[in-house]
Structure 1
Amino acid sequence: MRWRYEDESGTPVTGPDVTFPDQDTAEAWFGDAWASLLATGVAQVVLLDGDTELYGPMSLHPPA
């Protein structure tokens, strides 16, 4: 599993190239990393299992 990093329009952007053995590990990592991702220009993420989208896009911005 891995995260796809996107800008505000949904265009993929560069982010950490990290893979995870399962969804729980991916989500735990994201919980620690989301603020630094946002600071580097990532606006939203999609969780992927191979090429299959499990969920997302999920915004990194707080709700308005």
Structure 2
Amino acid sequence: MKKLALAAAFAAAASTVSAGTMEEPVMEAPVVVEETAASSSAAGVVIPLVVLAIIAAAVAMD
């Protein structure tokens, strides 16, 4: 009787372990984050040139 109960327990455990389908797993697409610049890279050059022009104009006025 104990062997029958043990066999039934193993059969029940084996059926739940193998319960599944052969479907392809659902894979989510990777998230791509593209950083956008707030301003162009030329702004890093333009601002010092404008400051230099203002200083040159101030020196020329003296």
**Normalising TM by the smaller chain, what interval?**
under 0.3
Larger Rg: 2
Q: Taking CA–CA contacts closer than 8 Å with sequence separation of 6 or more, which of the two structures ends up with the larger relative contact order?
A: 1
Q: Greater helix share, 1 or 2? A: 2
Q: Greater strand share, 1 or 2? A: 1
TM-score of the aligned structures, taking structure 2 as reference length: 0.19
